[in-house]
A = this chain, B = another copy of it.
């Protein structure tokens, strides 16, 4: 029940978007090859189910793997930056630069390095998640209230334990914010990867459908992708909340 209750506003949102979209299509009379109506998308969805689920399975694996690796390495980087002062001066600008590089400009080249298999897509999804997570975590780790740091000092904590037992828990709310955002961005990374080189996955399917002007099929694939992105957001939100039973987040991301 509580899961349903959490998902409920999301469902309302999705359906209100669908309604708006249908109205938009009807009112503006925009042709189907530009923007298909939700009904025709649903129809495409129903008639291509098997195809869609097959490709969706692949993309989901890429997304989840990318999200996990991206979050873990982002968090790791943030911890390393907070832990080692020397590292910060060199690693931080590199991090920044890596973020400023438009990924898909590099995507073709990445593909040449990593081949057209799943690895490349996971790397893309990872890269897209990595920076926001590293950046928000690091921002969070830097803003520990002084009083707690003082306490750690007089209690004889070494830098490592201070980081893990004081700074990290104190940064959890900031971290949750970053992870939530990363979760909803993860599908984009995988799809870019599939666009640039692949023979499977929702991105590939979308590209193919687009080239054949099967715009309704493309939107059906998009629908799966978006649903998955949103689901990932709420899952991440729930996980982070579970990690912070002490935290009072009054209004909640989901309510």
Q: Which one of B13, B177, B188 lies within 8 Å of A135 (CB-CB)?
A: B177
A136 part of interface (Cβ distance < 8 Å): yes
Beta-carbon contact of A132 and B93 below 8 Å: no
Tally of this chain's copies: 2
In the complex with contacts A34-B112, A92-B253, A250-B142, A180-B226 CB distance below 8 A:
no
Binds B, one of A41-49, A50-58, A96-104, A156-164: A96-104
Residues of A114-156 contacting chain B, CB below 8 A? 131-132, 135-136, 139-140, 142-143, 146
**CB atoms of A132 and B135 under 8 A apart:** no
Q: A17-B97, A146-B248, A230-B93 are in contact. Are A218 and B105 (CB under 8 A)?
A: yes
With an 8 Å Cβ cutoff, the count of chain A residues facing the other chain is 76
Q: How far is the CA of A57 from the CA of B142 in the complex (A)?
A: 36
Q: Which residues of B contact A132 (CB under 8 A)?
A: 132, 181
Chain B proximity of A10: nearest CB distance (Å) = 4
Q: Is A185 located at the chain interface by the 8 A CB criterion?
A: yes
- Are A10 and B100 CB-contacts (below 8 A) given A34-B109, A135-B181, A136-B177? no
Interface residues of A in 197-215 (CB under 8 A from B): 203, 206-207, 210, 215
Q: Chain B residues with Cβ under 8 A from A11's Cβ?
A: 93
Indicate whether A38 reaches chain B with its CB closer than 8 angstroms: no
Q: Are A90 and B9 also in contact (CB < 8 A) when A135-B180, A222-B101 are?
A: yes
Query: Given the complex, which residues of B lie within 8 Å of A82, measured CB to CB?
Result: 251
